[in-house]
Amino acid sequence: MPQTVKEYCVRLYTDTYNNETNRLTEVALSNPRARGVSESKAREIETAAQKEAIKTALIGGLRDYPDVEAAVVWRAVYETHVARKSGIDNADIIAQVISADNSWKKSSGHAFEEMIKLLGTAVLSEHNIEIVLQRDLSVLIRANELSNEPRDVSWLREQTGSDVFDLYSIVTREDRKFCYGCIQSKTSIRDRVTRDREPSMQAMQSFFWSVAITLDGDFLRLPKFRHMVNGGSTEYQHNGWHGLYVFSELYSDGRIYPTDLNFKNFADHAIKAADYWLTQRQWFNPEWMA
């Protein structure tokens, strides 16, 4: 009997979580100094295992159910996670559910970021482009491995301390690495979008490619959110990003583009942006469009 999306996500999440927990526990116990697994280590293992489970179930669900909306797959993974986290037979079940939901928010956001880094880099690597996490960029800056001008490096260092941009795009030319793009990843377009629009506009005004990626574009049904991306309204006269990429075909409009696991549109635009940034950066303003 064919599996539903929910059944599929439950199986893949559970198998991945259990396998990763067992693997990490074995690694911890293999340390000659280990005297069992401490409570803090167990929490660390759980966090890592559930992040891997979320990422794996999401990728699997999107890949094996291409006709199902990404938001539906995401909800199935979410419900699976909350059920595992809150399934303890405890009278204070409401507190457990709240704990599970907070756990989901923290781990799912990180899992989504890592998915973008993993799959985006896989698609773009042949063009000498990679997607890195904020902490990866911090390492590059500390090691003086970026060839950006000092003004750029100073600005990027400020961004890594603000948590506004979750990922960055790096292009390598003649063995020199340049950070040319700032990426905001959101599981839902509603999440912090009002707060994040202004920093994106500042990034564009500093001649960086500034984009966002989201799984659930449901709020793009509302004109307000479309205008926040594209501009054109009294409240939002100018575009807030160079592009917003949504895992759905439902919301295409102006600078709002559909994407998928092959990073359709996003990858093409990342390549064009890198080439333009390297050759005509003085014209890489907020109005630039791939």
Residue 184: closest CA among 133, 259, 257, 254 = 133
List alpha helices for the chain, DSSP H.
5-29, 39-64, 70-85, 93-124, 134-142, 150-160, 193-205, 223-230, 266-280
Instruction: Tell me the domain boundaries of the chain.
Output: 5-108, 128-283
What pLDDT was estimated at residue 192? Answer: 62
Q: How far apart are CA 30 and CA 185, in angstroms?
A: 36
What pLDDT was estimated at residue 91? Answer: 47
What letters, b where the CB count within 10 A reaches 16 and e where it falls short, cover 242-260?
bbbbbbbeebeeebbbbbb
What pLDDT was estimated at residue 1? Answer: 43
What pLDDT was estimated at residue 34? Answer: 66
Contacts of 146 (CB under 8 A, 6+ apart): 140, 152, 153, 156, 177, 178, 179
What pLDDT was estimated at residue 45? Answer: 95
**What predicted TM-score, i.e. pTM, was given to this entire model?**
0.82
What pLDDT was estimated at residue 74? Answer: 94
What pLDDT was estimated at residue 144? Answer: 96
Consecutive 10-residue averages of pLDDT for the chain (290 residues): 84 97 92 78 94 97 96 92 74 67 84 96 98 96 97 95 92 97 88 81 97 91 92 94 95 96 97 97 94
| DSSP bridge partners of 258 | 246
